[in-house]
Amino acid sequence: MRDTDLLEMALGLTPPWQVSSSDFDPKQRRLDIKIDFPRGSTFTCPECGEDNVKAYDTEEKTWRHLNFFQHETYLVARVPRIQCDKCGIRLIDVPWARSGSGFSLFFEAMIMTLAKAMPVKTIAAFVNEHDTRLWRVLHHYVDKARNNSDYSEVREVGVDETSSKRGHKYVSLFVDLKGPRVLFATEGKDASTVERFKQDLTDHKGNPENIKEVCCDMSPAFISGVENQFPKARLTFDKFHIMKIINEAVDEVRRQEQKDCPELARTRYIWLKNPKNLKLTQVGILKELTVKKLNLKTSRAYHIRLNFQELFTQAPEMAEAYLKKWYFWATHSRLEPIKQAAYTIKRHWDGVLRWFHSNINNGILEGINSLIQAAKAKARGYRTSRNLITMIYLIGGKLAFSLPT
């Protein structure tokens, strides 16, 4: 067998394509594989599919391919230009690469596989390419896979935002809670993000009328966005974000009280964690503080928080009565931050209680959150929100890619 035959088989080339020569340069650690076609071969028009068109000239192109052992490997070919009767002059498509790319399909498939597992910057260093070129590949396949996504079955949506670039920019995410998968990610955290989501949903065979449940935090922008764009949807405020409001109130009480009671310094997390999650030393501190100082405001705020948490263990038919009792207690606590938190709950009453009917699983949102953290790590050094968004789709979008294996 000639070495060119071996390369031809390894590349999976079919006629008229054949390997004409290979050029190995050990000093440059580089292998160039020349691909060519016999004189008189005919090709297919990439535009209209017209067969048996002869080449009238060629353009030499080079593609980075998978390494040959430790050696960078390039495919080099004369790519024919054809003159199609209908479409005019066109550069034909080669079977080993997509048009416009400087990488072979196999090389791109490798990039896509690695990108799910490690930061793009690391891959770039590993394959000795600028990461901008790799991001271009990722954008291409993610966009293409998203074009083919079908959102016609989506009924329940969760909305959340994440900061990018050290908190100066935001990306909002819309998640199919049944998937769970990321449906749409977009810059910003205002009401227009919901508008863009509606458009994107429609573009992917989704029907806004089918969206019956939406889970989000209490941001007025999301609330008004959902009310305007998805009038059929019922809002659920998720437990995680509600607890955040209560926790912040507890911490505010503690910080105010710390001025008179220095022992409260550095006890922040003791009051925010659940008792069963405390370390033994923390339990000790908690006991000492509450036994020594019987009238600690922080301790009262803490118990109001624990009590609020119990809401989520109530039977659905008892939930509202329970919340009413809690609200009365909180608003009569003489703890200003707790009262403010209770008023916030009151303003979002229906959405807080909706949880008992929609049963939106908080684990899903937490899962999505850890996925976003993973995407951020892999998009490390991402220069644009677009890179972060592409990575979020790649990791959380459950997309189907058509790539050679």
List residues binding Zn ion (CB under 5 A).
Answer: 45, 47-48, 50, 84, 86-87
Let me know the angle formed at the C-alpha of 8 by 6 and 12, rounded to the nearest 5 degrees.
Answer: 115
Nearest to 150 by CA among 206, 197, 196, 195: 206
| Least gap, CB of 387 to Zn ion (angstroms) | 36
Specify the residue, 86 or 130, whose C-beta has the smaller distance to Zn ion: 86
Specify the residue, 79 or 304, whose C-beta has the smaller distance to Zn ion: 79
Distance CA 163, CA 172 (A): 9
Nearest to 24 by CA among 46, 7, 45: 7
Specify the residue, 84 or 97, whose C-beta has the smaller distance to Zn ion: 84
Let me know the angle formed at the C-alpha of 147 by 145 and 153, rounded to the nearest 5 degrees.
Answer: 95
- CA 95 to chain centroid, in Å, comes to 31
- The residue behind tokens 């009590």 is 307
Specify the residue, 6 or 48, whose C-beta has the smaller distance to Zn ion: 48
Distance CA 395, CA 115 (A): 9
| Least gap, CB of 366 to Zn ion (angstroms) | 52
User: Structure tokens of 334?
Assistant: 């003489």
Specify the residue, 66 or 91, whose C-beta has the smaller distance to Zn ion: 91
| Least gap, CB of 86 to Zn ion (angstroms) | 5
| Least gap, CB of 93 to Zn ion (angstroms) | 12
Distance CA 311, CA 356 (A): 10
| Least gap, CB of 85 to Zn ion (angstroms) | 7
- Give the three-class secondary structure for 274: coil
Specify the residue, 45 or 264, whose C-beta has the smaller distance to Zn ion: 45
Rg (the chain; Cα; Å): 30
Query: Quick check: bond before 220 cis, omega within 30?
Result: no
Let me know the angle formed at the C-alpha of 79 by 78 and 85, rounded to the nearest 5 degrees.
Answer: 140
Specify the residue, 57 or 310, whose C-beta has the smaller distance to Zn ion: 57
| Least gap, CB of 84 to Zn ion (angstroms) | 3
List C-alpha distances in Å: 224 to 18, 23, 139, 242: 61, 64, 31, 18
Distance CA 104, CA 88 (A): 26
Residue count (the chain): 405
| Least gap, CB of 17 to Zn ion (angstroms) | 20
| Least gap, CB of 48 to Zn ion (angstroms) | 3
Specify the residue, 45 or 253, whose C-beta has the smaller distance to Zn ion: 45
- CA 232 to chain centroid, in Å, comes to 26
- Give the three-class secondary structure for 243: helix
Let me know the angle formed at the C-alpha of 278 by 273 and 279, rounded to the nearest 5 degrees.
Answer: 150
Specify the residue, 47 or 59, whose C-beta has the smaller distance to Zn ion: 47
Q: Count the helix, strand and coil residues of the chain and give each as a percent rounded to the nearest 5.
A: 50, 20, 30
| Least gap, CB of 43 to Zn ion (angstroms) | 11
| Least gap, CB of 140 to Zn ion (angstroms) | 23
Specify the residue, 80 or 225, whose C-beta has the smaller distance to Zn ion: 80
